[in-house]
């Protein structure tokens, strides 16, 4: 066979053919974990304009570059103070095992930042492990208890998630152990469905009253976030402000999930890059930028990503998948167990199976032993420290004494798509496609 | 009895008073709240066996997330009355709007009149007794607890139900996915009798019919695709 004459179809590459044939065999959508695998415009398509003659940089290892951020300055009596602008995103106990939650809590606490609960409520272990814990208030209300609201440092009303805007959650039966079932008041072993919208409010007017209720229950102490999947980001941001949020979490389509339909992961939502810009525009239009804090998530990986999100106007970022990778998600260890799942390190998205080869997204006690929570905490701490150092390095190079002083003017885009989405000029030009 | 007048106090002050008094030593644990005038989030997040009476109509989420207290709304209640109740009792003497007792984990919720759509949505252990009828999609995704409806139930009753038990004396317009009628045994009659007694509603428990989960949608199956 002459290999040069064998050409794959761009429309029907092997993975598409495989999915068509799987669908033909099973008759049901494919459910998986992790985030979008399709290429989308990202922060990689932006670069910083380091200082030279027209700007002067700060000395890399001598001059101060602060990273602290306060969340909840609008209404909460007790805003939260983070030492770094990088938080750990909401991930449930159930989706993650107890060791993973503990490792994330201790690692984040060591860096002075927050972690977040998820569906199913708050575990004692994560409260103990996390100095600053944000409590998610989700449509399912699984495990939702007022005592947990009162124990939390902030409350995040989840209206949507980047991996599945408009969709509810899933936790497949193989992960519903006795403890998870008890926490969620559900029979063991069932495929647990989480509702896609809240049972007692719809729309921004109701949301305003819902926020009032949560504030009344907690005596107006806790910052209240609203989290949305990035879709109609400008409108959603404006409505969240109108509803009385202290902070808004925008989760781009690269954000991960424990399990949902692939068509949600790949085909719904907009990338994080344009979402952050739209959210900032909305806040500025309302004169609420920096008054209502903006937290951005969805595919954050490096200090460069963090710095670019902050330069576009975010107050902080949140990381989910990347923090799991710091715990060895997709690491080339226990390779035979990846193979048993039909995958390999680097491509695994089998969080939904409960058979996580590295013991993170599992409730299996034997698999969980593969994640030492103390070692995991150290890895999370190291990773967060690296992101922070990278972000500071870039900020100093742009002459900034606080990472929040980064601004869009410090960046240019390498592609027309990124230029249009981030509304910064294409590199070497003054041109912003669609705007100038 | 302590009197808290919402014409003279903000809702915030009333709630904070109720929260702070829980740690106090006052032996008088009875409160009346005057002039609610449809205000939202009255008497929420109580965590003490107070006896609170709201004299008039309340807005959204009255008595929500209650623990231990007895809250009586002497009037009608807005959306989400007794939302996520954990224990204690919330009693509405009149009618209730949508999502009454939504996600309630425990305790007793009594609605003297009718309750609108989605009564008991995602209930997780609460007992609900409705003197009148309930609207469409009531007991949607009901996980645990009991709902007793002395009147009729609207369409898609008990849709996607888990392990909650539902009892209706009148007609059911339609049952939702995976909700079926089940045999009413003597133990169920006793359950209904007990709930009616606790609610102070005079009705014959033998006249009720029982509904619950067929448990066919608990795991995703290709054969059930029409229900998803």
Q: Give the gap in angstroms from C-alpha A119 to the nearest C-alpha of chain B.
A: 14
Neighbouring C-beta atoms of residue B140, cutoff 10 Å? 26
pTM of the shown model: 0.96
| Interface touch A209/B59, C-beta < 8 Å | yes
Q: What CA–CA distance (Å, rounded) separates A271 from A282? A: 17
Q: What CA–CA distance (Å, rounded) separates A397 from A281? A: 26
| Interface touch B141/A186, C-beta < 8 Å | no
Q: What is the pLDDT of residues A326-342, one digit of tens each?
A: 999 999 999 999 999 99
Query: Is the Cβ–Cβ distance between A63 and A396 less than 8 Å?
Result: yes
Q: Give the gap in angstroms from C-alpha A123 to the nearest C-alpha of chain B.
A: 17
Mean residue pLDDT across chain B: 96
User: What does the pLDDT read at residue B39?
Assistant: 98
Q: What is the pLDDT of residues A345-368, one digit of tens each?
A: 999 999 999 999 999 999 999 999
DSSP letters of A289-333?
BTTBEEEEESS--SHHHHHHHHHTT-SEEEESHHHHHHTTTT-SS
Cβ neighbours of residue B195 closer than 8 Å, sequence gap 6 or more: B108, B127, B129, B146, B148
| Interface touch A219/B16, C-beta < 8 Å | yes
Considering only alpha carbons, which residue of chain B is nearest residue A150? B45
| Interface touch B163/A187, C-beta < 8 Å | yes
Which run of H or E residues covers position A274?
A: helix A272-285
Q: What CA–CA distance (Å, rounded) separates B46 from B49? A: 8
Residue B83 lies in a domain: yes
Residue B15 lies in a domain: no
Answer whether residue A61 shows pLDDT above 90.
no
Answer whether residue B228 shows pLDDT above 70.
no
Measuring CA to CA, how many Å separate A354 from each of A192, A345, A364, A375? 13, 16, 7, 22
Q: Quick one: average pLDDT of B102-129?
A: 98
Task: Quickly state the pLDDT bin for B123 (edges 50, 70, 90).
Answer: very high
Q: What is the pLDDT of residues A121-139, one digit of tens each?
A: 999 999 999 999 999 999 9
Q: Quick one: average pLDDT of A305-328?
A: 98
Cα-atom radius of gyration of chain B, to the nearest Å?
A: 18
| Interface touch A216/B11, C-beta < 8 Å | yes
For A278, the token pair is 């739209």
User: What does the pLDDT read at residue A208?
Assistant: 98
Answer whether residue A242 shows pLDDT above 80.
yes
Task: Quickly state the pLDDT bin for B145 (edges 50, 70, 90).
Answer: very high
Q: Give the gap in angstroms from C-alpha B41 to the nearest C-alpha of chain A.
A: 5
Q: What is the pLDDT of residues A135-152, one digit of tens each?
A: 999 999 999 999 999 999
Give the architecture-level CATH label for domain A30-407: Alpha-Beta Barrel (3.20)
Residue B28 lies in a domain: no
Q: What is the pLDDT of residues B6-55, one digit of tens each?
A: 999 999 999 999 999 988 888 889 999 999 999 999 999 999 999 999 99
Residue B10 lies in a domain: no
Helices A203-217, B11-21: crossing angle, 10 deg rounding: 30
Residue B13 lies in a domain: no
In chain A, what percentage of residues exceed pLDDT 90?
88
Closest Cβ–Cβ partner in B41, B44, B99 for A200: B99
Task: Quickly state the pLDDT bin for A289 (edges 50, 70, 90).
Answer: very high
Considering only alpha carbons, which residue of chain B is nearest residue A30? B220
Angle at A320 between CA A316 and CA A322, to 5 degrees: 100
Q: What is the pLDDT of residues A250-287, one digit of tens each?
A: 999 999 998 899 999 999 999 999 999 999 999 999 99
Q: Quick one: average pLDDT of A104-118?
A: 98
In chain B, what percentage of residues exceed pLDDT 90?
91
Selection from A230, A249, A241, A223 nearest residue A282 by Cα: A241
User: What does the pLDDT read at residue A193?
Assistant: 81
Answer whether residue B127 shows pLDDT above 80.
yes
Q: What CA–CA distance (Å, rounded) separates A130 from A161? A: 22
User: What does the pLDDT read at residue B26?
Assistant: 84
Answer whether residue B5 shows pLDDT above 80.
yes
Answer whether residue B220 shows pLDDT above 80.
no
Query: Is the Cβ–Cβ distance between A391 and A306 less than 8 Å?
Result: yes
User: What does the pLDDT read at residue A60?
Assistant: 82
Return the bridge partners of A53, or none: none
How many domains is chain B built from?
A: 1
| Interface touch A216/B47, C-beta < 8 Å | no
Break chain A into its structural domains and give their ranges.
30-407
Q: Which chain B residues touch A27 with a CB distance below 8 Å?
A: 222, 225
Residue B21 lies in a domain: no
Q: Quick one: average pLDDT of A173-201?
A: 88
* Comparison of pLDDT for A192 and A108, the residue scoring more: A108
Q: Quick one: average pLDDT of A87-102?
A: 95
Q: Which chain B residues touch A210 with a CB distance below 8 Å?
A: 60-61
Query: Is the Cβ–Cβ distance between B126 and B108 less than 8 Å?
Result: yes
Residue B3 lies in a domain: no
Q: What CA–CA distance (Å, rounded) separates A315 from A172? A: 35
Q: Which chain B residues touch A220 with a CB distance below 8 Å?
A: 12
Which domain covers residue B122, as residue numbers?
37-218
Residue B97 lies in a domain: yes
Closest Cβ–Cβ partner in B41, B47, B219 for A213: B41
The size of chain B, in residues, is 228
| Interface touch A217/B219, C-beta < 8 Å | no
Mean residue pLDDT across chain A: 95
Q: Quick one: average pLDDT of A416-430?
A: 97
Answer whether residue B77 shows pLDDT above 70.
yes
* Comparison of pLDDT for A209 and B22, the residue scoring more: A209
Whichever domain contains B187, its CATH number is 2.160.20.60
Task: Quickly state the pLDDT bin for A176 (edges 50, 70, 90).
Answer: confident
User: What does the pLDDT read at residue A191?
Assistant: 86
3-state DSSP assignment of residue A5: helix
């Amino acid at each position: 066979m002459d290999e040069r004459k064998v050409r794959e179809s761009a429309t029907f590459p092997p993975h598409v053919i495989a999915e068509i044939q799987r669908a033909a065999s099973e008759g049901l959508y494919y459910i998986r974990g992790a985030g979008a695998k399709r290429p989308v415009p990202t922060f990689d398509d932006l670069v910083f304009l380091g200082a030279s003659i027209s700007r002067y940089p700060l000395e890399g290892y001598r001059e101060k570059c602060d990273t602290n951020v306060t969340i909840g300055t609008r209404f909460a009596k007790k805003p939260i103070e983070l030492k770094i602008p990088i938080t750990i995103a909401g991930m449930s106990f159930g989706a993650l095992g107890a060791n993973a939650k503990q490792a994330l809590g201790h690692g984040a606490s060591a860096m002075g930042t927050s972690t977040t609960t998820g569906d199913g409520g708050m575990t004692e272990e994560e409260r103990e492990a996390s100095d600053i814990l944000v409590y998610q208030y989700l449509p399912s209300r699984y495990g939702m208890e007022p005592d947990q609201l009162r124990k939390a440092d902030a409350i995040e009303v989840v209206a949507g998630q980047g991996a599945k805007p408009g969709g509810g959650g899933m936790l497949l039966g193989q992960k519903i152990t006795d403890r998870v079932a008890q926490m969620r008041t559900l029979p063991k072993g069932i495929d647990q469905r989480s509702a896609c919208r809240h049972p007692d409010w719809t729309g921004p007017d109701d949301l305003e009253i819902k926020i009032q209720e949560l504030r009344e229950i907690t005596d107006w102490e806790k910052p209240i976030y609203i989290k949305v999947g990035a879709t109609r980001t400008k409108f959603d941001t404006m409505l969240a402000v109108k509803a009385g949020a202290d902070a808004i979490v925008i989760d781009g389509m690269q954000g991960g999930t424990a399990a949902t339909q692939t068509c949600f992961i790949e085909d719904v939502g907009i990338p994080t890059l344009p979402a952050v810009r739209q959210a900032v525009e909305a806040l500025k239009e309302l004169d609420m930028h920096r008054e209502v804090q903006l937290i951005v998530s969805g595919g954050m990986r490096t200090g460069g990503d963090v710095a670019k999100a902050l330069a576009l106007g975010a107050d902080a970022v949140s990381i989910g998948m990347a923090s799991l990778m710091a715990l060895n998600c997709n690491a080339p260890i226990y390779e035979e167990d990846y193979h048993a799942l039909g995958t390999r390190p680097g491509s695994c998205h089998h969080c939904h199976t409960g058979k996580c080869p590295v013991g993170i997204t599992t409730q299996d006690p034997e698999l969980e032993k593969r994640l030492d929570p103390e070692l995991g905490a150290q890895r999370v701490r190291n990773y967060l420290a690296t992101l922070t150092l990278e972000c500071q390095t870039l900020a100093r190079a742009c002459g900034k004494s606080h990472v929040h002083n980064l601004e869009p003017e410090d960046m240019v885009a390498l592609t027309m798509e990124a230029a249009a989405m981030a509304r910064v000029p294409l590199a070497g030009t003054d041109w912003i496609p669609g705007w100038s | 009895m302590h009197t808290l007048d919402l014409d003279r106090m903000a809702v915030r002050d009333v709630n904070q008073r109720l929260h702070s008094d829980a740690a106090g030593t006052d032996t008088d644990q009875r409160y009346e709240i005057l002039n609610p005038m449809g205000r939202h989030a009255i008497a929420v997040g109580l965590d003490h066996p107070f006896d609170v009476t709201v004299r008039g109509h309340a807005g959204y989420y009255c008595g929500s997330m209650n623990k231990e207290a007895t809250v009586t709304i002497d009037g009608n209640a807005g959306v989400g009355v007794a939302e996520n109740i954990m224990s204690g009792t919330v009693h509405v003497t009149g009618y209730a709007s949508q999502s009454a007792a939504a996600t309630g984990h425990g305790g007793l919720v009594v609605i003297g009149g009718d309750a609108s759509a989605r009564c008991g949505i995602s209930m997780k252990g609460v007992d609900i007794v409705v003197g009148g009828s309930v609207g469409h999609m009531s007991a949607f995704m009901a996980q645990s607890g009991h709902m007793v409806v002395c009147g009729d139930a609207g369409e898609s009753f008990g849709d996607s139900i888990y392990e909650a038990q539902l009892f209706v004396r009148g007609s059911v317009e339609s049952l939702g996915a995976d909700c079926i009628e089940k045999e009413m045994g003597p133990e169920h009659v006793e359950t209904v009798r007990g709930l009616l007694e606790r609610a102070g509603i005079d009705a014959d428990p033998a006249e009720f019919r029982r509904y619950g989960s067929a448990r066919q949608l608990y795991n995703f199956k290709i054969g059930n695709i029409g229900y998803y």
